[in-house]
Structure 1
Amino acid sequence: MASYSTNYDNGATRLKLFGRGQRSVHAALGGGKVADLLLWRNKRVSGAVLSGVAVVWFLFEVVEYNFITLLCHLLITAMLVLFIWSVGAEIFRWTPPNIPKLVLKDSTFRELASTVHKRFNQFLSLFLYVACGNDAKLFFLGILSLWFLGQIGNYINTLNLVFFGLLCIETLPFLYDRYEEEFDDLAGKVYKQMRRTYRKVEADVLEKIPRGPVKEKKKA
């Protein structure tokens, strides 16, 4: 969602995406490990996540693996590697496998759950606000966007759509943070064009729709 003021057309205020006002992109995304991941502050971790998503997509979509089959094959491979490593360690005096227990910190789960909960509440509040007709522009834009996504769903399967969405989540915030001014300028031009179009539709169509008489509220 974009943040803007009514005097944007006069060039007084620059359009800010993600509804962030004057905050940085990192702060708008939560300012934690999730923001670091999306903005590639740790390139190894972000690259590993993106590579993992790409590998999963390749195995399911291109190789056409079944989930259960893939899981079993991965476990078989892990067991064989550990078995060969253990036997080889006794014969060739290698260092035996010492796999530490992988324990994720509770703070990681809490932070992830808090971020997801916060974003879901923001989305739900905005959805209810728009669906109740409080903002006609966002209402028609939402209807159009959902219809467009529904049409895309007819031609792209769910796995490809999810992969494309994750790819966008992993790349677009990073690109926007790097080329912020260019994106803001482009968003400003698009926003102004949308405002002109809406005003034209409002003048030619919406204002001509007959409305019933407005009842005056009774004073207590």
Structure 2
Amino acid sequence: MPIYSSSSDSEDHHHHRRPTPVASRRPHFGHGGGRPMHMHARLGGGHVADILLWRNKNLSAAILVGFTFIWFLFEVMEYTFVSLLCHISILAMALLFLWSTGAAFVDWNPPNYRAFTVPESTIRWLLGRLNYFLWKFCEISSGQNIRTFFLVITVLWILSVIGNYFSSLNLLYIGFVCLATLPAMYERYQNEVDYLASKGNQDMKKLYDRFDAQVLDKIPRKPAMKERRRF
């Protein structure tokens, strides 16, 4: 007995094959759950995020001016790190001495030395970031994701070439300026950056697929490893 497909089944079939509308697509830098994640939450949602996104403009500007002044001392004035550290220590000791001795003659509160200590939570956070970086470095180096492995190798090679033309201090200062300005610029122009990043990601995927077909597939591998990489 022949079986005839109804028009409703055909419509349902085409309905399920219909591509996802552009408006509902997830942004390139969005959260994995489908709902885009705000830049403030991606940066940790704390005081560091407030500084990087210039929520407190006075504090962010003061930090940027401070790092610019330090770069000016080292790079332009050719100040040495040991001399700067010693001079800062001498100035801090003189101020604390005047503060402590002046509190006995004037109605001042003596300095609270606990305010000059680094909180243990900050040290734990730094160690956690360092351990995460080391774990991520080992994971990428294992070759589980070939695309990420070659991407990191390319970025490190580009940085090594750039390092031949810039000093380490200039690279650190440029990196800090980018860190202090790019998140705020991205938050302001998020839609435009996501669109350009999506196009760039598609172009990189096409380039990697071509490299995979012409180079990686020709590398001799064990049958099990090659079969696992394909699936």
Specify if TM > 0.5. yes
Once the two structures are superposed, residues 168-193 of structure 1 have per-residue CA deviations (whole angstroms, 9 ceiling, x without a partner) of 11111111112111111111111110
Matches within 5 A, 1:80-159: 100-101=111-112, 103-104=114-115, 109-159=119-169
Separation in 2 of the partners of 1:119 and 1:212? 37
Residues 123 and 69 (structure 1), Cα distance of their counterparts in 2 relative to 1, 3 Å cut: closer
Question: Any gaps of 5 or more consecutive residues in structure 2?
Answer: 1-18, 99-105
Q: 1:143, CA displacement in angstroms?
A: 0.7
Q: 1:207, CA displacement in angstroms?
A: 1.5
For the 8 Å contact 2:75–2:169, the answer to whether it is kept is yes
Is residue 2:64 matched to residue 1:53? no
Aligned partner of 2:215: which letter?
Answer: V
Q: 1:149, CA displacement in angstroms?
A: 1.0
Q: 1:130, CA displacement in angstroms?
A: 1.2
Residues 127 and 74 (structure 1), Cα distance of their counterparts in 2 relative to 1, 3 Å cut: closer
For the 8 Å contact 1:176–1:183, the answer to whether it is kept is yes
For the 8 Å contact 2:51–2:60, the answer to whether it is kept is yes
**TM-score (norm: length of structure 1):** 0.74
Q: Which moved more, 1:184-193 or 1:10-19?
A: 10-19
Aligned partner of 1:122: which letter?
Answer: Y
**SS of structure 1 residue aligned to 2:41:** helix
Question: Any gaps of 5 or more consecutive residues in structure 1?
Answer: 1-7, 84-94
For the 8 Å contact 1:9–1:192, the answer to whether it is kept is no
Q: 1:194, CA displacement in angstroms?
A: 0.3
For the 8 Å contact 1:34–1:112, the answer to whether it is kept is no
Is residue 2:182 matched to residue 1:182? no
Once the two structures are superposed, residues 63-93 of structure 1 have per-residue CA deviations (whole angstroms, 9 ceiling, x without a partner) of 111233345555777859x99xxxxxxxxxx
Aligned partner of 1:27: which letter?
Answer: A
Which residue is 1:86 aligned to?
none
Aligned partner of 1:51: which letter?
Answer: V
For the 8 Å contact 2:40–2:50, the answer to whether it is kept is yes
Q: 1:212, CA displacement in angstroms?
A: 3.3
Q: 1:14, CA displacement in angstroms?
A: 2.0
**SS of structure 2 residue aligned to 1:112:** helix
Separation in 1 of the partners of 2:203 and 2:183? 24
Q: Which moved more, 1:185-194 or 1:14-23?
A: 14-23
Larger Rg: 2
Separation in 2 of the partners of 1:62 and 1:164? 15
Residues 169 and 186 (structure 1), Cα distance of their counterparts in 2 relative to 1, 3 Å cut: same
For the 8 Å contact 2:31–2:37, the answer to whether it is kept is no
Which residue is 1:172 aligned to?
182
Once the two structures are superposed, residues 122-147 of structure 1 have per-residue CA deviations (whole angstroms, 9 ceiling, x without a partner) of 32332222110110000000111111
User: How many residues end up aligned between the 2 structures?
Assistant: 199
**TM-score (norm: length of structure 2):** 0.71
Q: Which moved more, 1:142-151 or 1:119-128?
A: 119-128
Separation in 2 of the partners of 1:48 and 1:99? 27
Aligned partner of 1:15: which letter?
Answer: H
Considering only aligned residues, what root-mean-square deviation do their CA atoms show, in Å? 3.5
